[in-house]
Every structure is written in C-alpha cells, then in structure tokens.
C-alpha cells in the first residue's frame, strides 16, 4: 500500500490560476447556478442535518462560529475532510465524512476513487460511533508536513447537533490555465482553518482557500 503524500502548495488563486467558482457560500438548491453548473459535477445541498461537536467538558462550541480548531474544541461537517483516528486503530488521513447521525458518523477511506487507486486501497465507507473518535490531527506547518494532535480523551465530549446547514459542500473550481479543467475540491480542516484539497490522477494537492461563515 502506498502511503498517501499530500503535496502542500500555497497558491494565490486568482493571480495564478484565475479560478472560477460555482455553487459556493450560498444555498445552492435555491440557485439556478446549482442546476446549470454545480450539479453537473457534484450533488450536495445545504440542508438541515447533524454536525459533530468535539468540546471540552464545561465548554460550548457554536458550530456557526467554529471554522478552525480552538482550545475549547472544534466542529466537523458532512462532505468535509478530516484526519481522524478511531478506537480500532484505523486512521483516515483524507477521509470525507459522508453522513452524521445523532450517534454515528460514516467516513470514506480517502477522498475519491482515483485517490484510492493511487494509494492502492479500496474506496469504501466505514461507520463508527461518535464515541469511537480517539485522535484528530491538523496540519500546522504546510512546508514540513507537521501536524498538531488533539487526543479526544475524558476531558472532551463528542455530541451531534442538529443545524439548518449541516454540509460543507465542496468547491467546484474551473482552472482556465489547465484547459478549463473542472475539479471538485473538498474542504480540509487545518490548524489555521479550512482550506481545500484537489485531486490530479489520484494525487492530492493542497490549496489555501479561505472560507467564511455561511
């Protein structure tokens, strides 16, 4: 099995790639842009559902304001990528959270099928109790690939919270300098907040891409 290596590239989007964005930071199901552009590449809607809250006992995390890890904890959303390790010892470095219920989450083995082929692993989904999350990692030095590590021990509680917009739908980006290639780019939680990962022939590249409250 190949070890997944994420190539971390700091990119100024507009100046270098001139990237166009479809279906970002709005309620896509209410937008003509969703039917005309976004849904051609990915089916994701901002709709009610659960988010996961990891918080220190005695603290309260507001998911509408939690867009990066803090001392008090952090929030996790469907369709975003997290580096998580579970009670069975399995670690998913680029798994997409596909579903959250009030007591479980489902995560993919890696971002998509092309990534799975590149890594030499099956593309499959795993369902865990929310209490099975043991460690979360967040990249904090992009050039060296250094991670901060948050052990989710007895000092923390993990809860599922119902919200109006539960998914963090991926960006659909057009790269004009790559013959207008269109890529589905999932958001990835780092120590500094959410940025995005995009895939080329199974290889994951990192891109700085700020996200704001919806």
| In-domain check, residue 100 | yes
- Tens of pLDDT, residue by residue over 119-161, are 999 999 999 999 999 999 998 865 556 778 899 999 999 999 9
CA dihedral 172, 67, 129, 148 (to 10 degrees): 100
Conformation bin of residue 39: beta by default, left when phi > 0, alpha when psi is -120 to 50: alpha
Place of tokens 């080329």: 200
| In-domain check, residue 2 | no
- Tens of pLDDT, residue by residue over 172-200, are 888 887 788 888 999 999 998 998 898 98
Total tally of structural domains belonging to the chain: 1
| Domain with 175 in it | 7-207
Confidence (pTM)? 0.81
With 0-12 / 13-18 / 19 or more C-beta atoms within 10 angstroms meaning exposed / middle / buried, residue 188 is buried
| In-domain check, residue 34 | yes
CA dihedral 72, 78, 80, 84 (to 10 degrees): 60
Distances 78 to 71, 88, 126, 204 between C-alpha atoms, Å: 22, 22, 14, 19
Does 211 have pLDDT greater than 60? no
- The token pair at 185 is 């780019």
| In-domain check, residue 144 | yes
The two beta strands, 203-207 and 7-8, are: parallel
| In-domain check, residue 29 | yes
Does 94 have pLDDT greater than 90? yes
| In-domain check, residue 116 | yes
């Amino acid at each position: 099995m190949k070890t997944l290596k994420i190539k971390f590239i700091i990119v100024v989007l507009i100046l270098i790639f001139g990237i166009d964005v479809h279906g970002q930071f709005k309620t896509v199901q209410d937008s003509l842009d969703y039917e005309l552009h976004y849904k051609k590449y990915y089916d994701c809607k901002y709709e009610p559902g659960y988010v996961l809250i990891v918080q220190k006992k005695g603290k309260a995390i507001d998911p509408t304001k939690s867009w990066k890890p803090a001392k008090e904890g952090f929030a996790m959303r469907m369709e975003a990528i997290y580096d998580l390790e579970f009670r069975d010892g399995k670690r998913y470095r680029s798994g997409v959270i596909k579903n959250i219920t009030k007591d479980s989450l489902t995560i993919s083995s890696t971002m998509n099928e092309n990534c799975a082929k590149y890594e030499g692993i099956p593309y499959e989904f795993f369902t865990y109790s929310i209490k099975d999350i043991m460690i979360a990692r967040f990249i904090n030095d992009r050039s060296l690939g250094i991670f901060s590590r948050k052990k989710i021990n007895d000092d923390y509680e993990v809860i599922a919270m119902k919200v109006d917009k539960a998914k963090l739908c991926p960006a659909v980006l057009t790269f004009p300098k790559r013959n207008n290639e269109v890529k589905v780019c999932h958001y990835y939680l780092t120590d500094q907040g959410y940025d995005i990962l995009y895939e080329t022939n199974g290889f994951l590249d990192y891109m700085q891409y700020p996200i704001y409250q919806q």
